[in-house]
Amino acid sequence: MKIFLAQQNYHIGNFESNTKKIISAIESAKQQGGDLIVFSEMSVCGYPARDFVEFSDFINKCYESIDIIKQHADTIAVLIGSPAHNPIKEGKNLFNAAFFLYEKEIKAEVHKTLLPTYDVFDEYRYFEPAYDWNVIEFKGKKLAVTICEDIWNINDNVLYRICPMDKLMLQSPDVMINLSASPFDYTHDEDRKSVIKANVEKYKLPMFYCNAVGSQTEIVFDGASLIFDKDANLCKAFPMFEETMESVVLNDDGTIAAPVIEPASRMPNKQLNPDGLEEELNIAQIHAALILGIKDYFQKMGFTKAIIGSSGGIDSAVTIALACEALGKENVKAILMPSPYSTEHSVDDAVQLSKNLHNDYEIIRINDVYASLLSTVKPLFNDLPFGLAEENMQSRIRGNILMSIANKFGYILLNTSNKSELATGYGTLYGDMAGGLAVLGDCYKLQVYALAKYINQRNLPAGRQVIPENIITKAPSAELRPNQKDSDSLPDYAVLDKILYQYIERRNGPAEIKAQGFEAALVDRVLKLVNVNEYKRNQFCPIIRVSPKAFGVGRRVPIVGKYLT
């Protein structure tokens, strides 16, 4: 049996485009003699559709698309993902389903059993778990079809009381097929592979795992679909962050007609350091995810051009470089807005960056606007000493200018805040926290430096250093008052990032973090900064998710909570 996996990038709610893409793959697979083609979870409507599935019109369009697609499932069988009606009155109205199409008919429906409701997932909000489990018989084979989370209830990672594959094994299946929409994070590649391999080792069946690719606002799907033979040898590994379609032949004896690219004996490469954040951890994957996140956000929103505030600092430099790679240098405009406290070397660095990248830039000095605003509020400020209010005015003037240009010319403002800043509240609401999409909001400061070095290394064969060395080596500063440095307000990033990582990603409490050797008073201060600044993050723009715990939809804590404040 020749089985194709179609690793595709879908657009949520774009039924015409998704259907056309699915049909194109079906026709291609038919021309190549395919018996079965498998698509990813919720391929018909895109994932995650969230509250869209509460609209009956949205579900009707899913079924209309299935009706169109099934006309092409004539000589080839097709597995696609879509919401499905639940005919039973009790429970939720919908299932997260896989539809098995053949001979222009819906031959079978498979319903997802394990509905994740953690981090970015909220599936039990919408869907009812499966009531029953049945293999699909096709061309003399029994297919055990599962959907994403259904294969994750294994080994030590047991979150559910039911294991769908245990139920399906009672019917003696010949092969496992999983339709997935498993998001990327920089720790997930090997974990995912280990889970799939564990299923193969447990059930002694080959596994065809088809994962989605593409970015849906903040969530990036990396693809990386996999095919294992019944002996747990990896026989096919699809590329990450790319659309592709490939096939292998499943032999009658359950073997895979493909060479082994990774033997079952290989031990997984655990990528997560339990003792602290590795700033260069999988930096190439993070880079690729950010590029895809920017590219898809613009394409799917119908925008082409980005505007970015360029300060001469590391965060704006990396954001501009990533935007130029994702969108093309001709579609990126950098705006330099020096204030009375900006150093000339920062302006020079920002100019050199744009010259290196060949993107358009403008210099708009805000001295006069700033002086006018200070004059306007002077009667109200009663000659109080210069402080945070006067500092933040500069940032808000810049945000106003950037948003005005964006509105006038149809740009999207890319935010440059990093995770260290967002965690500690080191940013100005309606100023440098403005934007349509945060590129670096899930990257700690040390990771931003690692990205800068990686970007330069990638460009060295072309004979150029994109990000000037001075931007990488100089002490970071907001330059909102004379001789200001980040270290005036924050601990050294080499220490700060490790504490933040332990608290945010690993959910360790103050006692556990202090036991690792961090200064007690510093831990208390950092954790307090994180929790009292939730109100700022709650008003922030979407963040491209690259870590196992990003700010945004995947991390939900109260704004007015007393804990650790």
Told to judge if 210 belongs to the known catalytic residues of this protein, a careful annotator would answer no
523 touches 514 (CB < 8 A): yes
Beta bridge partners of 144: 176
Checking 351-355 for CB contacts under 8 A at 24+ apart, the result is: 352/468, 353/310, 353/312, 353/317, 353/320, 353/321, 353/466, 353/467, 353/468, 353/471, 354/310, 354/320
Backbone conformation region of residue 432, classed left if phi is above 0, alpha if psi is from -120 to 50, else beta: alpha
Strands 2-7 and 36-38: parallel
Q: Which of 41, 149, 505, 534 is catalytic?
A: 41
Distance CA 255, CA 259 (A): 11
437 touches 544 (CB < 8 A): yes
**Phi and psi of 87, rounded to 5°?**
-75, -10
256 touches 249 (CB < 8 A): yes
Angstrom distances, CA of residue 552 to CA of 320, 543, 547, 549:
23, 7, 12, 9
Q: Cα(first)–Cα(last) distance of the chain, in Å?
A: 60
Q: Is 226 helix (H, G, I), strand (E, B) or coil?
A: strand
Place of tokens 């245990």: 166
Told to judge if 41 belongs to the known catalytic residues of this protein, a careful annotator would answer yes
Q: Which of 45, 62, 148, 163 is catalytic?
A: 148
Q: Which of 112, 197, 305, 419 is catalytic?
A: 112
Strands 234-237 and 226-228: antiparallel
Q: 510 is written with which tokens?
A: 């103050």
Which residue spans within 239-371 are E strands per DSSP? 244-249, 306-309, 332-336, 360-363
Told to judge if 92 belongs to the known catalytic residues of this protein, a careful annotator would answer no
Distance of CA 354 to the CA centre of its chain: 27
Distance CA 69, CA 67 (A): 6
Distance CA 240, CA 189 (A): 9
Helices (H) and strands (E) in the chain, counts: 16, 19
Beta bridge partners of 81: 98
Peptide bond into 558 cis (omega under 30): no
Distance CA 381, CA 524 (A): 33
Show which residues are catalytic: 41, 112, 148
